[in-house]
């Protein structure tokens, strides 16, 4: 039997833990290509986390960005993604 991963959220406001430094963003879209959850979308000449509520905080976008434009922080204590198996 295979288990599936369930992504839930801890209650509360996570704060702004994901963003982009527009001055560094080249608009290459690497963040969007590496994001398995479809969080990143083009906004003019840069990419922004348009669907941050879908983010599972894996850090793939931050690690992949060649221009180091992705701002990736920590959600506020007690909030953020919660993974369970079922």
The predicted pLDDT at position 56 comes to: 82
For the chain, list the domains and their CATH numbers: 14-73 (3.30.70.20)
Give residues with Cβ within 8 angstroms of 37, minimum separation 6.
Answer: 51, 54, 55, 56
pLDDT reported for residue 53: 78
pLDDT at residue 2, rounded to an integer = 67
In tens digits, the chain (86 residues) has pLDDT values of 566 767 777 666 666 788 999 999 999 999 999 999 899 999 999 999 998 878 888 889 999 999 999 998 877 665 566 666 65
* Sign of the alpha-carbon torsion through 67, 26, 45, 39: negative
| DSSP-assigned letters across all residues of 15-68 | -S-EEE-TTT-----HHHHH-TT--EEEETTEEEETTGGG-----HHHHH-TT-
Q: What is the pTM of this model?
A: 0.76
């Amino acid at each position: 039997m295979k288990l599936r991963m369930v992504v839930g959220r801890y209650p509360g406001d996570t704060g702004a833990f994901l963003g982009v430094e527009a001055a560094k963003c080249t608009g290459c879209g690497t963040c969007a290509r590496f994001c398995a959850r479809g969080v990143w979308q083009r906004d003019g000449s840069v990419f922004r986390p348009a669907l941050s509520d879908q983010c599972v905080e894996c850090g793939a976008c931050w690690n992949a960005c060649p221009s180091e434009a992705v701002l990736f922080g920590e959600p506020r204590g007690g909030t953020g993604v919660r993974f369970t198996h079922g």
